[in-house]
Amino acid sequence: MNIGQFPQTRLRRNRHDRFTRRLVSENTLSTDNLIWPIFVTEGTGAVTDVSSMPGVQRVSLDRLAAHVEPAAKLDIPALALFPITPASLRDEAGTEATNPDNLMCRAARLLKKEFPEIGLIGDVALDPYTSHGHDGLIEDGYVVNDPSVEILVKQAVNQAAAGIDIIAPSDMMDGRIGSIRTALDVSGLVNTRIMSYAAKYASAFYGPFRDALGSGGLLTGDKKTYQMDPANTDEALREVALDLSEGADMVMVKPGMPYLDVIARVRQEFAVPTFAYQVSGEYAMLMAAIQNGWLDRDRVIMESLMAFRRAGANGVLTYFALDAARLLRA
């Protein structure tokens, strides 16, 4: 006979005190899960703010070691590098992408020397280098696939030769993962990993990033003929399946928070190393509310990052990486 009071099952019991909450916690967030994107710029003595990303800066190479030092101290496993190319070095074909002395390659060599233990992720796409701001080559107003892949392959090998550990193609051309894998292997770069931006959406959340790079104003039209339609998820699984079959070691979904359903499906379907990019617009959105005093900074950072872990992401590219690593240490 039921002599207790209704209800017998009380889920609140396991939330009663901190020790029980710790015991029943289903997911964890650690510094191991953090990747810090950084913007590098030409010149000397430059540490300039990105106005739409409060707290994020563009840093010249002479300031780069000092900028990265805290990440090394906090044991953040990897950085994602993004170069800002002066307009004078941009052209229709993104030629600067294949220059062995471009900013990206110089940054990679410097960082490998100063911080050999930190993994370097190199974004492969032509948008930092093209005069039109697109990720590939344009013919008759259309971003053409196969000729773009040819130059992206050269860009990838160029970066890997300069010391980039993980090539991260973010261009969304078909077939580039396989072509890049083959070219890396032929060049003897068999251990250079590929983290594919496999399911990358044509998103409004990249706005502040394009401000940071100075490619926003240059961009003609949109990226809808190569980046994915935000309405689709089945297609994301096909994108991931293809990239894995072509040799991707890790896959990424981007943006992050508005696409947690995609991360969860990818994780469940493939059970491969899966990453998420909490992109510039997500950062800007949270920072705007934080700066207004509308959201609690520390709590919202940690909750947003835990959400990626719950969805199944191994790690997150986040502009909050340093803040999160500090909070995890405290």
Ligand X SMILES: NCc1[nH]cc(CCC(=O)O)c1CC(=O)O
Applying CB under 6 A, the span of 26-34, 55-63, 139-147, 206-214 interacting with ligand X comes to: 206-214
Q: How far is the CB of 190 from ligand X (least distance, A)?
A: 25
Applying CB under 5 A, the span of 4-12, 98-106, 239-247, 303-311 interacting with Mg ion comes to: 239-247
Applying CB under 5 A, the span of 30-38, 129-137, 159-167, 237-245 interacting with Mg ion comes to: 237-245
Unique residue bearing structure tokens 């703010």: 49
Contact between 206 and ligand X (CB under 6 A)?
Answer: yes
Which option in ligand X, Mg ion, none does residue 239 bind, with CB closer than 5 to 8 A by kind?
A: Mg ion
Per-residue H/E/C for the chain? CCCCCCCCCCHHHHHCCHHHHHHHCCCCCCHHHEEEEEEEECCCCCEEECCCCCCCEEEEHHHHHHHHHHHHHCCCCEEEEEECCCHHHCECCCHHHHCCCCHHHHHHHHHHHHCCCCEEEEEECCCCCECCCCCCEEECCEEEHHHHHHHHHHHHHHHHHCCCCEEEECCCCCCHHHHHHHHHHHCCCCCCEEEEEEEEECCHHHHHHHHHHCCCCCCCCCCCCCCECCCCCHHHHHHHHHHHHCCCCEEEEECCHHHHHHHHHHHHHHCCCEEEEECHHHHHHHHHHHHCCCCCHHHHHHHHHHHHHHHCCCEEEECCHHHHHHHHHC
- What residues are labeled active site? 200, 254
151-180: contacts with ligand X (CB under 6 A) = 170
Choice from 68, 125, 263, 301 touching ligand X (CB under 6 A)? 125
Residue number closest to ligand X, CB atom: 209
Comparison of 127 and 239: residue with beta carbon closer to Mg ion: 239
Choice from 52, 85, 123, 157 touching ligand X (CB under 6 A)? 123
Is 235 annotated to bind a ligand? Reply is no
Contact 265, 237 (CB under 8 A): yes
Q: How far is the CB of 223 from ligand X (least distance, A)?
A: 6
Q: Phi and psi for 196 in degrees, rounded to 5?
A: -85, 130
Comparison of 160 and 276: residue with beta carbon closer to ligand X: 276
Residue number closest to Mg ion, CB atom: 239
Choice from 157, 266, 279, 321 touching ligand X (CB under 6 A)? 279
Comparison of 90 and 254: residue with beta carbon closer to Mg ion: 254
Applying CB under 6 A, the span of 40-48, 105-113, 122-130, 176-184 interacting with ligand X comes to: 122-130
Which option in ligand X, Mg ion, none does residue 206 bind, with CB closer than 5 to 8 A by kind?
A: ligand X
Contact between 239 and Mg ion (CB under 5 A)?
Answer: yes
Contact between 239 and ligand X (CB under 6 A)?
Answer: no
Contact between 127 and ligand X (CB under 6 A)?
Answer: yes
Instruction: Give the Cα-Cα-Cα angle 269, 274, 276 (nearest 5 degrees).
Output: 120
Contact between 96 and Mg ion (CB under 5 A)?
Answer: no
Unique residue bearing structure tokens 């008759």: 140
Q: How far is the CB of 82 from ligand X (least distance, A)?
A: 7
Total of chain residues touching ligand X, rule CB under 6 A: 10
Q: Which two tokens stand for residue 102?
A: 């471009």
Binding residues (CB under 6 A) for ligand X: these are 123, 125, 127, 135, 170, 206, 209-210, 279-280
